[in-house]
Amino acid sequence: MNVVLVGTDPNGLTDALEAEGHTVTVADVGNRPGLEEAGIHEADVYLLTEMSQATSIAVAKDLNPDLRVVVYAEGSLPDFASRQTDLVVDPDLLSSDAVAEEL
């Protein structure tokens, strides 16, 4: 599975995903150029790790409407982003290894 991860990765999610056999591309900023460079058009999952970049969810879904959107971060999503998100996971409740295994 192709995963585009946007944001920082303090919990080792990239390593956990790669250990499960997923291809991960990291983009520091979830703007249109960053997402396109990261391969959002071919991605299966958009994984956001920073709530401050929640607006990037709408951009990602615009570029690839079939994406599964997963947020792995503390906090709350704005309403507009919640409607486009498939799963929100708090890192304090579920480890990065568990998330990678379930994807």
Distance CA 56, CA 30 (A): 5
Q: What is the pLDDT of residue 38?
A: 97
Distance CA 15, CA 17 (A): 5
**Domain ranges within the chain, ordered by starting residue:** 2-102
**Residue 21: count of CB within 10 angstroms of its CB:** 8
pTM (two decimals): 0.94
What is the homologous superfamily of the domain 2-102 according to CATH? Answer: Response regulator (3.40.50.2300)
Nearest to 49, CA basis, from 19, 23, 70, 22? 70
Distance CA 10, CA 53 (A): 16
Virtual torsion, Cα 26, 22, 52, 90, nearest 10 deg: -150
Show pLDDT as tens, one digit a residue, over the chain (103 residues): 999 999 999 999 999 999 999 999 999 899 999 999 999 999 999 999 999 999 999 999 999 999 999 999 999 999 999 999 999 999 999 999 999 999 8
